[in-house]
Amino acid sequence: MKTLYDKVWKSHIVHEEAGQPALMYVDLHLIHEVTSPQAFEGLRVAGRKVRQAGRTFATVDHAIPTLNRNLPFKDPIAAQQVEKLRENCKEFGVKLYDLDRIEQGIIHVFGPEQGLTQPGMTIVCGDSHTSTHGAFGALAFGIGTSEVEHVLATQTLQQSPAKNFLIRVDGKLPYGVTAKDIILGIINEIGTGGATGHVIEYAGSAIESLSIEGRMTVCNMSIEAGAKAGLIAPDEKTFEYLKGRPFAPKGEDWNRAVAYWGTLPTDAGAAYDKTVAIDAGDLEPYVTWGTSPEMSVKISESVPDISDARDASQRETNERAFAYMGLEPSQKIDEIGIDVAFIGSCTNSRIEDLREAARVANGYHVNSGVKAMIVPGSMQIKKQAEDEGLAKIFIDAGFEWRDAGCSMCLAMNDDVLADGERCASTSNRNFEGRQGRGGRTHLVSPMMAAAAAITGHFVDVRDWKFRD
């Protein structure tokens, strides 16, 4: 009796020897401009090649502008980094989906969209949110640059097995409570170190009921709970999503693949090292108040009272977060006003996220004190949203409609919060300075961000008067 994780892990062991980490085969290696230059340089210095260029795919996302991509970059260092990726891909024979391609997008949006991400695979990328791909039942995790070089050279990684952590979310999600709220609720419950050393498997009726996009949102933030990876068993929805995508198996291969994928879900009675159960009915829209993703509250609640801290160290951490965020203990969430709304990132920039945000925005206008932007996860999503009429809703409502990229998720390009600016953001990290020095990030779902953009402060989207 094995778990989904055990099955994927075991089937990828190339070599095992007592007292050493195993060698794990890597089926898919994704790369981007920020964490790869030093790895390619390492290969060059050692006179090594990319072992399986056909399993290596690159795109540009982190440092690129999302406005006027055809103009020369304002930042010469970012331009150099992108140029370096082009040179490296050319020299080592790696396929690059550059700025001129409709497939270009955030690496974790791009992989699934192209059908590269498939159940049962091992997938790595020099980026911690590689956990996103676990939504397909793939074992996917982020690695450092030394490991990127190791994978380029050997198509394997030295790995030790992780522990199994089952998180069940059962019951029906109330309308307005989304995949983002599930994962924020989970992190609130188990903490940012709660899954360290573990691979989380998300299961239960509320997880099954999510679309593939929603499942990606949940798996995306596994790393914010400290997990090695997060996965969800593949099912009919997964197959349906993959069918016909450019790199998905075709014809007879498709049938064989589906038969194999069907063997992956956890066997009945398999044991987990740890289990947590959550009732979907208890969840509400969540808003983070502090500088760690675990510092969140339900929309109906107030930010915490400092005297509730578990110990001195937590009290100090909380005090620092309050000071940084410019909040008062016990302040009500819906009294917090915002300056910026950012809808995007590998957590929430897929078509479904844009549909939800557009439903809220439809017929309204962004508050005069708020700058709001929508950054689709890929150029393909951008086009689809334009074809579906979502772009028009956003533009009419006063949102900026951008090109694909990471943008204000980490603010490595020109999209940066000014000191003291407060942002409702659909991204995944509210760390100090993440969206700009002194910038204050509140993580929320796309619906919540759109509603805050319109009213100028946080509101409970469950009470929203839709105008469609």
Partner 1 sequence: MNKFVVHSGSCVPLMRENIDTDQIIPKQFLKRIERSGYGEFLFYDWRFAADGTPTADFVLNDPRYAGASILIAGANFACGSSREHAPWSLMDHGFRVIIAPSFADIFYNNSLKNGLLPITLDAADVAYLGEAVSADPNFTLTVDLENCTVTDGAAFTRSFKIDKFRRHCLLNGLDDIGMTLQHEATITDYETRLASTGRFVLA
Residues lying near ligand SF4 in the complex (CB under 6 A) are found at 61-62, 106, 108, 127, 129, 345-346, 406, 409-410, 427-428
Question: Parallel, antiparallel, or unpaired for β 296-298 and 286-288?
Answer: antiparallel
241 binds partner 1 (CB under 8 A): no
Question: CB under 5 to 8 A by kind: which of partner 1, ligand SF4, none does 161 bind?
Answer: none
- Footprint on residues 34-73 left by partner 1 (CB under 8 A): 34-35, 37-38, 41, 46, 48, 51-52, 54-55, 57, 62-63
Distance separating alpha carbons of residues 405 and 403, to the nearest angstrom: 7
Distance separating alpha carbons of residues 317 and 107, to the nearest angstrom: 33
Neighbours of 328 (CB within 10 A): 12
Distances (CA, A) of 173 to 115, 169, 182, 340, 447: 28, 10, 9, 28, 15
Distances (CA, A) of 115 to 68, 105, 125, 133, 238: 28, 14, 16, 11, 11
Distance separating alpha carbons of residues 167 and 217, to the nearest angstrom: 15
Task: Work out which of 86, 92, 128, 161 binds partner 1, going by CB under 8 A.
Answer: 128
190 binds partner 1 (CB under 8 A): no
Q: Which is nearer to partner 1, 26 or 216 (CB)?
A: 26
Neighbours of 51 (CB within 10 A): 16
CB of 395 to ligand SF4, least distance (A): 22
Distances (CA, A) of 237 to 4, 87, 95, 132, 214: 17, 39, 29, 16, 12
- Footprint on residues 265-324 left by partner 1 (CB under 8 A): 292, 313-314, 316-317, 320
Q: Which is nearer to ligand SF4, 108 or 298 (CB)?
A: 108
Distance separating alpha carbons of residues 415 and 417, to the nearest angstrom: 7
Question: CB under 5 to 8 A by kind: which of ligand SF4, partner 1, none does 346 bind?
Answer: ligand SF4
What dihedral angle (degrees, nearest 10) is formed by the CA atoms of 350, 389, 399, 422? Answer: -30
Give me the residues paired with residue 163 across strands. Answer: 198
Task: Work out which of 44, 90, 365, 437 binds partner 1, going by CB under 8 A.
Answer: 437
**Choices 24-32, 270-278, 296-304, 447-455 (CB under 8 A): range interacting with partner 1:** 24-32
432 binds partner 1 (CB under 8 A): yes
Q: Which is nearer to partner 1, 172 or 320 (CB)?
A: 320
Question: CB under 5 to 8 A by kind: which of partner 1, ligand SF4, none does 409 bind?
Answer: ligand SF4
Task: Work out which of 1, 19, 251, 463 binds partner 1, going by CB under 8 A.
Answer: 19
CB of 340 to ligand SF4, least distance (A): 16
